[in-house]
Amino acid sequence: MSKNTTSNSSPTQRVITDWDGPLGLPRFEAVSDEDFPPAFEAAMAEHEREIDAIAKDDGAADFDTVITRLELGGQALNRVGAIFWNRAGAHTNQTIQALEREIAPKLSRHFSKIAQNRDLFARVDAVWQGRDKAKLTTEQSRVLERHWKGFVRSGAKLGEGEQKELAEINERLALLGAQFGQNVLADESGWSLHLDDEADLAGLPDFLVEAMVQAAREHGHESGHAVTLSRSIIEPFLTFSERRDLRETAFKAWISRGEGVQDAAHDNRPLIGEMLQLRARKAAMLGYADYAAYKLDDTMAKTAEAVNGLLAPVWEKALDRAHEEARALEALIAEAGLNHRLEAWDWRHYAEKLRQRKFDFSEGELKPYLQLDRIIEAAFDVAGRLFGISFVRREDIAAYHPDVRVFEVRDATGKLAGIFMGDYFARPSKRSGAWMSSFQSEHKLPTEAGVGQLPFIYNVMSFAKAAPGQPVLLSLDDAHTLFHEFGHALHGLLTQASYPSVSGTSVSRDFVELPSQLYEHWLTTPQVLTKYAVHCKTGEPIPQALIERVAAARNFNAGFRTVEYTACALVDMAFHTAGEVKDPMAFEGRKLADLAMPDAIAMRHRSPHFAHIFAGDGYSAGYYSYMWSEVLDADAFSAFEEKGDVFDAATAERLRKHIYASGGTVDPEDAYKGFRGKLPSAQAMMEKRGLA
């Protein structure tokens, strides 16, 4: 293990790399934007020295002298990156965005240099070739395989000229991904629809009106209300507004993000075409038929054929259901004496009216019972009942933004087990959506600071703020999002891995959504709703009759919801199996036409703002993974239902051991079978969606 050299850095650089804040956290308030460039340069230089020491070591190449040292290398760079990428996503500005465009390709160049270091790969390959005699643990075998395959997939076996080309491709892709995300954020934060007339608010419930007042102030208006492109405002506006003209205006702005409509400089369409071309070339250089084959090689699904084999029957059933739903909505429009056709900006509005009629249930009726603070408490309580952990608020610790809440995570004995941060509110400096990430992951290796490290995990969401003094109310979808991201957080917090590269969410893409999607199931159990869903004004618990109506309406509009998601997964897979795509928007249009996509339903993420697959490549050829994991999560929750107790202790212990604690230390199929005893079929998922 190389000596940490950050002590030779400047004091401002050491603030970023030598964390000495409360509980070992960074001192976020001491880090200025201008500190990042020199800190990155120093950290990359240190990492290069560590890599050179491993590569040029003339001793025997074994797991400890090569792989363990690789696992521990780059700590300073990890720390600089953790703070920077958190700021870039959750609290950015023009300085950070400019740095992002500069740093992303630099980092790509740095890691390409490591991946194409022939001396280093020779030592990794020597360990790989001797693996059968090395008596490695299962976890060590997976760590070794991850490193060896990582080098090969990064071009370690290519000739010098091809390595240079691959490095240039990766560098360009990094820059394009950063630009793509920044363009989407610019369109989202730069657009709002200011409403001054009371008639513009027709049909809007109080909770939404109050949120729109707050949004107007955040967008610089001293009076009136604002519709923004934050999902927690735009979706309820499209649902409740009686002003069809305003719904159309807002919807078209929402789905045109990244198309250069607001500002030609934010047009992502040329970026998509170039990214697809570069990805196809990269895959070909590495010996894969297409980029999907490259990305799926290390997943549960393995092939695009397997993915499409899952998606195709779901699509057919969802499409049939969506046509039924459309006919019902068209009947409502006709019944109201209107003669317009059903458009995409009408669907949510009339679906809500139909739901009220069929189930005597409205989202507006439920929302006063879903207070943000209570739902957070519910998520913590479920974790305590399942896994024996508790959360202690630390209001005395400053995080990276005043809105962020900091919690100690303690195990059943009261011992500190990690840190959790919750960042729940939308703001112009934050990209939309919701995600989980970490400042550091758990591991058990010896370091200069001691043995192992605790996980520092955070959740980011984009809920609309309420007026001062008023509770923040969530939709049912919002509450599901909170539970979903907290499930990811638990995956990071509960992991018991020895090595960083297989800790927490470092699992295959189509397994990583299992812990998060599974956790959502507990939200709507009677045990949780009756305790935590209390009326924001009266304090009365949610009536049993309303719980029953919510349950009855669970699969209402299932065709719409499944079509808008599955279309994205199918388009994603089509993009990445097609090779060169000269006109991405025309390609998207042809694919949707081939699928017979209904005109009145838009993709949940149209290509110019499909950040999952283009703002980086995390979910590229992988958006299907939500549904793949849904097959697993539907079956997994059945394990509790079969016991007649959603908190059954023995089942919860197996869940913790095999799913939440194992990280990537074992094969995901083995992990799932360890919990459930078998692999699932898609039937439980189809039933869960109401499509069986």
Looking at the structure, do residues 599 and 652 belong to the same domain, yes or no? yes
Identity of the residue numbered 329: L
Instruction: Report the phi/psi class of residue 469: left, alpha or beta, with left for phi > 0 and alpha for psi in -120 to 50.
Output: left
Spatial distance between the Cα atoms of 6 and 112, rounded to a whole number of angstroms? 23
The single residue listed with the structure tokens 């109050």 is 210
Instruction: Decide: 505 and 629 in contact? Cβ < 8 Å.
Output: no
- When the pLDDT of each residue in the chain is averaged and rounded to a whole number, the result is 95
Domain boundary among 552, 576, 608: 552
Q: Where are the alpha helices (DSSP H) in 2-117?
A: 11-17, 36-55, 69-72, 75-90, 94-115
DSSP state of 592: H
| 27 shares its domain with 83 | yes
**382/438 same-domain check:** yes
Phi, psi of 654 (to 5 degrees): -65, -40
Q: Which residues are catalytic?
A: 485
Q: What is the mean pLDDT of residues 612-617?
A: 94
pLDDT at 11: 65
Indicate whether 393 and 519 sit together in one domain.
yes
Q: Is residue 272 part of a domain?
A: no
Predicted pLDDT at 506 = 96
Residues 562 and 447 in one domain: no
One-letter identity of residue 529: L
**Strands 405-410 vs 390-393: parallel, antiparallel or unpaired:** antiparallel
Helical H runs in 494-583? 509-512, 514-520, 526-532, 544-552, 558-575
Maximal C-alpha separation, the chain: 84
Are 566 and 430 contained in the same domain? Answer: no
For residue 541, pLDDT beyond 70: yes
Using CA atoms, how far apart are residues 630 and 488, in angstroms rounded to an integer?
14
pLDDT at residue 688, as a whole number: 87
What are the tens digits of pLDDT across the range 471-514? 999 999 999 999 999 999 999 999 999 999 999 999 999 999 99
For residues 633 and 614, membership in a common domain is answered with yes
Instruction: Quote the CA–CA distance of 278 and 168 in Å, as a whole number.
Output: 10
pLDDT value of position 7: 44
Q: Which domain holds residue 210?
A: 191-266
Query: Please, are residues 395 and 498 in contact by the beta-carbon 8 Å criterion?
Result: no
In a domain, 579, yes or no: yes
The residue to which tokens 């998207």 are assigned: 588
H helices of 154-223, in order, are: 160-190, 206-218
- Give a yes or no: residue 503 inside a domain: yes
CB 268 within 8 A of CB 591: no
Residue 559 to residues 106, 320, 543, Cα–Cα distance (Å): 44, 7, 28
Q: Are residues 325 and 430 in the same domain?
A: no
Domain boundary among 247, 266, 285: 266
Of the three residues 516, 535, 552, the one that is the final residue of a domain is 552
Closest CA to 408 of 394, 388, 398, 397: 394
For 485-488, the CB contacts below 8 A with 24+ separation are 485/434, 485/435, 485/436, 485/459, 485/460, 485/461, 485/516, 486/379, 486/383, 486/459, 486/516, 486/519, 487/515, 487/516, 487/517, 487/518, 487/519, 487/520, 488/435, 488/436, 488/459, 488/512, 488/515, 488/516
d(CA 463, CA 187): 18
Long-range contacts formed by 84-88: CB under 8 A, 24+ apart: 84/36, 84/40, 85/437, 86/400, 86/437, 86/439, 86/458, 87/33, 87/400
Where residue 548 sits, what CATH number does that domain have? 1.10.1370.40
Evaluate whether residue 283 is within a structural domain.
no
Strand 435-440 versus strand 443-447 pairing type: unpaired
Q: Are 286 and 155 in contact (CB under 8 A)?
A: yes
Provide DSSP, 281-347. Answer: HHHHHTT-SSHHHHHHTTSSS-SHHHHHHHHHHHHHHHHHHHHHHHHHHHHHHHHTT--PPP-HHHH
Apex CA 83: angle with CA 77 and CA 86, to 5°?
A: 125
Residue 585 has pLDDT above 80, yes or no: yes
Least confident range of 94-98, 396-400, 417-421, 577-581: 577-581
Nearest CA to 508 among 670, 278, 652? Answer: 670
Same domain for 12 and 153, yes or no, is yes
* Tokens of residue 281, six digits: 């070339």
Which value, in Å, is the radius of gyration of the alpha carbons in the chain? Answer: 25
Same domain? For 389 and 526 the reply is yes
The burial of 448, by beta-carbon neighbours within 10 Å (0-12 exposed, 13-18 middle, 19 or more buried), is given as exposed
Residue 383 CA to residue 414 CA, distance in Å, equals 15
pTM here?
A: 0.93
Q: Are 571 and 592 in contact (CB under 8 A)?
A: yes
The pLDDT tens digits of the residues spanning 507-517 come to 999 999 999 99
| 276 falls within a domain | no
Cα 460-463-466 angle, rounded to 5 deg: 135
DSSP conformational letter for 267: B
Q: Are strands 225-228 and 192-195 parallel, antiparallel or unpaired?
A: antiparallel
Q: How confident is the model at residue 432 (pLDDT cuts 50, 70, 90)?
A: confident
Those residues whose C-beta lies under 8 Å from the C-beta of residue 79, and which sit 6 or more positions away, are 16, 17, 19, 26, 43, 439, 440
Residues 6+ apart with CB under 8 A from 443: 71, 452, 453, 497, 498, 499, 500, 503
Q: Is 397 domain-assigned?
A: yes
pLDDT at 6 over 50: no
Residue 380 has pLDDT above 70, yes or no: yes
**pLDDT at residue 108 tops 90:** yes
Model confidence over 148-195: pLDDT tens digits?
A: 999 999 999 999 999 999 999 999 999 999 999 999 999 999 999 999
pLDDT tens digits, residue range 262-304? 899 999 999 999 999 999 999 999 999 999 999 999 899 999 9
Percent of all residues in the chain with a pLDDT value above 90, rounded to a whole number: 91
Q: Which two tokens stand for residue 236?
A: 């309820």
**304, 448: one domain:** no
Strand 416-425 relative to strand 456-463: parallel, antiparallel, unpaired? parallel
State how far the Cα of 661 lies from the Cα of 652, in Å rounded to an integer.
12
Whether 280 is in a domain gets the answer no
- Per the structure, the count of domains in the chain is 4
- Give the chain's count of helices (H) and strands (E): 29, 9
- Work out the average pLDDT over 592-615: 97
- Of 302, 306, 403, 318, which Cα lies nearest the Cα of 668? 302
What are the backbone dihedrals phi and psi of residue 205, each rounded to the nearest 5 degrees, phi first? -70, 160
Three-state SS at 437: strand
Percent of the chain at pLDDT > 70 equals 98
Residue 277 counted as domain residue: no
- The CATH number of the domain where 652 resides is what? 1.10.1370.10
**Mean pLDDT, residues 62-85:** 97
What local confidence, expressed as pLDDT, does residue 447 receive?
84
Q: What is the distance between the terminal CA atoms of the chain, rounded to a whole angstrom? A: 55
Neighbours of 470 (CB within 10 A): 14
Does residue 363 have a pLDDT over 90? no
* Cα gap 385→389, rounded to integer Å: 8
609 & 649 share domain = yes
Alpha-carbon span 289 to 296, nearest angstrom: 11
Whether the predicted pLDDT of 443 surpasses 80: yes
| 459 φ, ψ (degrees, to nearest 5) | -110, 140
Q: pLDDT grade, residue 12 (50/70/90)?
A: low
Q: How far apart are CA 143 and CA 67, in angstroms?
A: 8
Whether residue 603 contacts residue 564, with contact meaning beta carbons closer than 8 Å, is answered with yes
On the question of pLDDT at 5 being above 70, the answer is no
> How far apart are alpha carbons 60 and 247 in whole angstroms?
68
